[in-house]
Chains A and B, each alone.
Chain A
Amino acid sequence: MPAFLRLLPAMLLACALSVAQARDPGDLVIGFGADVSSLDPHFLNAVPNVAAAAHLFDALVHVDPDGKLVPGLAVSWQAVDATTWEFKLRRGVKFHDGSDFTAEDVMFSLERPAKVVNSPGPFTSYTRQIASRQIVDPYTVRLKTPAPYGPLPLDLTTIYMVSKKAAANATTEDFNSGRAAVGTGPFKFGAFRRGEAIDLVRNDAYWGGKPAWQHVQLRLLTNDAARTAALLAGDVDAIEAVPTPDIARFRANPALRLEQKVSWRTIFWQMDLSRDQSPFVTDKAGRPLAHNPLRDVRVRAAISKAINRQALVERTMEGLAIATGNIVIPGIVGHVDAIKPDAYDLAGAKRLLAEAGYPDGFALTLHGPNNRYVNDEQVVQTVAQMLTRAGLQTRVETMPLSSYFGRARAGEFSFALLGWGSLAGDSALRSLLATPNPDIGWGGFNWGRYSNPELDRLVRAALGETDAAARAKLAGQAVELAMRDHALVPLYHQYASWVMRKGLSYRARVDEFTLANAFHPQ
């Protein structure tokens, strides 16, 4: 067996050779926590795909680490009239193949998402508002919307600009092979090994300044233990999505450095607010109730008061969250500083329940995912216990996301946990609490089918406002209205964490994205 004999020495050497390979100081290896299914930036609208694409491509508008919109490939944008947005493009930007970035590429990139027909999760909800596109000059484009639409710049942060020359007629596979993966981003395509790693090479001509790293490898380490081990063994320089139980240990490790930031993700409860008989609300003997108590605002207020958010955040979340009464995090359009988290008040909760006609409580099943959010299953259990103290009889049912979202969408639950990341309160409300209207894509995650014409009006007004200050005011009013009505029960904003070896720093981001360009040697 000559082939085997040839391999034998290599095998023996592998046992003997025990020197860990030192990496070049210009190289950076990052452990991603989720699988990237494609490098086609218009194929699947999922966070890992978008985060990976951000290395190769740029959008017209970028998001800074705090969630503010900043110039990307567009240096400025403004609404020239109520239904027209004008974007001034950055001059002198080159694609990785050396060709110029112009308005033609913008036109092509805005049209392409609708043409990726086999996409299971398309980007069209971000381009749908654009009714017509016009090139004013090679560095100015105008986009018309059928109705006034304020969040267009925000929507365009997720639409990456590809090269018309390289990507015309390109399939998703052409992006994965690198042939069409020609962007203007800080790194060029090196290799894409599906399920394993993405190799990137520095784009020396990057318009945003030369990146600090010559070679970057994004390793797809979806298993928590494998990701942690890779960091501890020095195989990778940094990891994202740090498993909660390990955070304390990492913090104490002098060879490592932890970076954290409040993430845009808010965790809250959606309640069945439309049906008079809800499937998982009964009396304590399991018989159906005359009416659905969750439709009574006093009951919802009581539930909110019965939740000890401080304990939840400190114990169950191990300090990796901050309690909230809002829908979006501070500093984001639609965050209202005046709204504080409901204070824990067990007596008040019981009083409200009695007032609503449920002095002895009722029985409620809480549903949640068990593999989606940080400690999600434990959070559901904790809240169930807190509600038990207020006199409710609770049951807990958690399941994998793959069956959870489908069932929740179908309205199978009465009280269900959801997490939502958004950079605008009005956009968040449009998905979460606006009256469901599939034709226009409103209320897509309004599981409880809440419907309030006044809220719809405010959300529509905010989304239709192109003046930033006026829009923020309207969005704030909408959030206030929803919170006053306890249309959902907010719990907390979770923290996003990154761990890296000593000697590196990372500008942690609210949107939880991991970008190689935001790592720097200290």
Chain B
Amino acid sequence: MAWYALARLLQALAVLAVMSLLVFAGVYALGNPVDLLVDPNAGAADYARRVAALGLDQPLWVQYARFVVGLLHGDLGNSFVHGTPALHLIFERMPATLEVSFAALMMALASGVPLGLVAGFKPQSWIGRAIRALSVLGFSLPTFWVGLMFIMLFAVELGWLPAGGRGPTEHVLGIDLSITTLEGWRHLLLPAVNLALFKISLLIRLTAASTQEILRQDYIRFARAKGLHPVRIVGLHVLKNALVPIVTVLGLEFGSLVAFAVVTESVFAWPGMGKLLIDSITLLDRPVVVAYLLVVVLLFVSINFIVDLLYGLLDPRVRLGGAQA
């Protein structure tokens, strides 16, 4: 177990190193933010002073070395555009993104798994077919379009919900959350559903497929033969076994929800990390872009690690690290 964790950690560090180098060089190649931001009437001396103040006058490898030294001290540099530490900017926005992603994930779980079970049990019935058709729709409609349609319907036409933005936040355990208030939920609902749609479809298909597979297994037949109540069969034997692949996918999907909530955040003006990333790329704000990607990589690595641990809990056949057959 310890070995396993250590190997995982080393892997993660290697990924982070490669990632940071790639992003660093990529944004460097794109251009110099001072070209975009400095006043055109600024003199050469002023221009040079700005470039030097941001450390952009140094060769790429020196800039990268400085970045790595800072990183080892836990400092990812200051945003060029905001003048504040890049990590601070990201953590400031993180609760908003986590909130909407988590809400979307819960919605996906709460609706995708039951619907998938139904579709798996009764694949030939009209309801099974309807659920499958819906999931195809959820897969194929582009997120931004569905988001805009939601806004048109629920905000503009019906006026039930706000068109975007985040509701008032409250301090909960040092984090600003909007899910503790009614107004917060009114703002959260549309972006969360929008973000959840694709995941719901995914879960429906995944659950339905596993359910069908499991239903053909001998132990289900025995359980039925034994006269166990169908609720117990589904609740214990089918669901528990169907959960194994779901947990794997779910971990990764949560990562992608957080990392790629960008589209939904833009359409709903949701002040999360994705919006920060887009704005930073446009202004070549390298420290923020690099810090964001590092945070996301770290997030993915941790999620994968947790998923592996959960695996062991759900499926006793999986033993981490040990090779005792």
Q: Footprint of B on A, CB under 8 Å?
A: 7, 10-11, 13-15, 17-18, 20-21, 35, 37-38, 40, 43-46, 117-126, 128, 172-173, 176, 193-197, 219-223, 225-227, 229-230, 232-235, 371, 400-403, 405-407, 409, 427, 430-431, 438-441, 444-445
Tell me which residues across on chain B come within 8 A of A14, comparing CB atoms.
182, 185-186, 188-189
Beyond A193-B271, A195-B279, A441-B46: 16 further Cβ-contacts under 8 Å?
A10-B181, A11-B185, A14-B186, A20-B159, A37-B82, A121-B34, A122-B42, A173-B83, A195-B271, A195-B275, A229-B156, A230-B162, A235-B163, A402-B31, A439-B45, A441-B44
Give how many A-B residue pairs fall within 8 Å (CB-CB).
194
Residue with the greatest number of chain A CB neighbours at <10 A, chosen from B35, B281, B284: B35
Taking a contact as CB atoms under 8 Å apart, the answer to whether A406 and B32 are in contact is yes
Identify which of A13, A124, A219, A406 contacts B182 (C-beta below 8 A): A13
Q: In the complex, how many angstroms separate the beta carbon of A413 from the nearest chain B beta carbon? A: 14
Q: Is B230 in contact with chain A by the CB < 8 A criterion?
A: no
Q: Tell me the nearest residue of chain A to B279, going by C-beta.
A: A35
Q: In the complex, how many angstroms separate the beta carbon of B127 from the nearest chain A beta carbon? A: 23
Q: Is B39 in contact with chain A by the CB < 8 A criterion?
A: yes
**How many chain B residues touch the partner (CB < 8 A)?**
66
Q: In the complex, how many angstroms separate the beta carbon of B155 from the nearest chain A beta carbon? A: 4
Taking a contact as CB atoms under 8 Å apart, the answer to whether B163 and A401 are in contact is no
**Using a CB-CB cutoff of 8 Å, which residues 254-297 of chain B contact chain A?**
266-269, 271, 275-276, 279, 281-284
Interface string of B27-49 (1 = CB under 8 A from A): 00011111111111111111100
Q: Is B81 in contact with chain A by the CB < 8 A criterion?
A: yes
Tell me which residues across on chain B come within 8 A of A221, comparing CB atoms.
164-165, 269
* Interchain CA distance A407-B83 in the complex, whole Å: 25
Q: Is B50 in contact with chain A by the CB < 8 A criterion?
A: yes
Tell me which residues across on chain A come within 8 A of B54, comparing CB atoms.
118, 120
Taking a contact as CB atoms under 8 Å apart, the answer to whether A7 and B179 are in contact is yes
Q: Considering the complex of A and B, which 8 residue pairs feature the smallest CB-CB distances, nearest first?
A: A438-B44, A121-B37, A14-B185, A233-B163, A233-B155, A441-B43, A196-B271, A406-B31
* Interchain CA distance A120-B81 in the complex, whole Å: 7
Taking a contact as CB atoms under 8 Å apart, the answer to whether A229 and B41 are in contact is no
Taking a contact as CB atoms under 8 Å apart, the answer to whether A226 and B46 are in contact is no
Tell me which residues across on chain A come within 8 A of B44, comparing CB atoms.
438-439, 441
Q: In the complex, how many angstroms separate the beta carbon of B39 from the nearest chain A beta carbon? A: 4
CB<8 Å pairs between A and B, sample of 8: A11-B185, A17-B186, A122-B50, A126-B39, A195-B276, A223-B267, A230-B269, A371-B282
Q: Is B238 in contact with chain A by the CB < 8 A criterion?
A: no
* Interchain CA distance A227-B89 in the complex, whole Å: 23
Q: Is B166 in contact with chain A by the CB < 8 A criterion?
A: yes
Taking a contact as CB atoms under 8 Å apart, the answer to whether B50 and A431 are in contact is no
Tell me which residues across on chain B come within 8 A of A403, comparing CB atoms.
30-31
Tell me which residues across on chain A come within 8 A of B279, comparing CB atoms.
35, 195, 222
Q: In the complex, how many angstroms separate the beta carbon of B124 from the nearest chain A beta carbon? A: 33
Taking a contact as CB atoms under 8 Å apart, the answer to whether B41 and A431 are in contact is yes
